[in-house]
Amino acid sequence: MAAQEPEDTARRRAPRVDAIRNREAIVEAASAVLAEQGTAVDVREIARRSGVGMGTLYRHFPKKEDLVHTVLRKDFSEWAESARQAAVDAEDPWAALTAFYEQALTGYARHRAIMENFSLTWTVPDLEGLQQLRRVIERLCAGAAGLLRPGVTVDDLLLLLVSLGHAVQITDDCRPQMWNRLLRISLDGLRAEHHEPLPADTAPGTRPPGPDREVRPSGPSHPAAGS
């Protein structure tokens, strides 16, 4: 209504160039900071590293959570995609599985916020990236059907990824590639020559009803002691 451009209506106003640059700077800085320090970072640190003011940051991402989610969605997707690609490029089904884990663990497992989120939400299939990841693993499972130990599920492979991802997080700074040894061990343990059944996963969905947490046979009781 106000301020009409004579014949340029089709062309969108240009000045978003810097806005886009800023948004990207924010996301990039946030990605770096979140990777380094996890989601507990001070928003100011992100603003400082992006070179923008707090207001700019909050213009693009009204809540800290919004920024974190945006970054995680992006990084998580890229992560899943890079791992998928590594699997696709492999020569045989088992090599695909191996390459998948290697790429996944090499590429992003040091991203603290991703691992944080992965750990917190791996059972909640709401995240796009997580779904992607699960689909990749499903395909790998299908492809390596005869080679995989019977009874191994997609959830097992996903949990293995989280678990090894954590190992990467805590070793990669001081012992790069040490996690690779665990990976070999686990992959070997996944092969078909192991015939014993895996222990039943008693609660496929959620916690089973019944007396709460009587899992621990001999450990001390205080972690469960209410007060």
Which residues from 152-211 bind a copy of itself, rule CB under 8 A? 152-153, 155-156, 159-160, 162-164, 166-167, 169-182, 184-190, 193-194, 196, 198-208
Residue selected from 36, 53, 159, 176 as contacting DNA according to rule CB under 7 A:
53
Angle formed by the axes of helices 64-88 and 16-37, nearest 10°: 80
CA distance 49 to 22: 11
Q: Considering beta carbons, is residue 96 or 160 the nearer one to a copy of itself?
A: 160
Instruction: Give the x/- contact pattern for a copy of itself in 14-33, rule: CB under 8 A.
Output: ----x--xx--x--xx-xx-
CA distance 93 to 47: 45
- Name the amino acid, one letter, at 69: H
Q: Considering beta carbons, is residue 49 or 166 the nearer one to DNA?
A: 49
Partner that binds at residue 69, options a copy of itself, DNA, none, CB closer than 5 to 8 Å by kind: none
Inter-CA distances, 2 with 5, 6, 10, 96, Å: 9, 12, 16, 58
Q: Considering beta carbons, is residue 21 or 135 the nearer one to DNA?
A: 21
CA distance 105 to 182: 11
Inter-CA distances, 169 with 30, 90, 103, 163, 172, Å: 18, 26, 14, 10, 6
- For DNA, the binding residues in 60-119 under the rule CB under 7 A are 60, 62-65
Residue selected from 80, 87, 98, 110 as contacting a copy of itself according to rule CB under 8 A:
110
Which among 56-64, 141-149, 193-201, 206-214 is the span making contact with DNA, rule CB under 7 A?
A: 56-64
| 54 belongs to the binding site for DNA (CB under 7 A) | yes
CA distance 109 to 35: 9
DSSP, collapsed to helix, strand or coil, labels residue 184 as helix
Residues 6 or more apart in contact with residue 111 via CB below 8 angstroms: 31, 34, 35, 75, 79
| 24 belongs to the binding site for DNA (CB under 7 A) | no
Which among 62-70, 116-124, 125-133, 134-142 is the span making contact with a copy of itself, rule CB under 8 A?
A: 116-124
- Where does this chain bind DNA (CB under 7 A)? 2-3, 13-19, 21-23, 40-44, 51-56, 58-60, 62-65
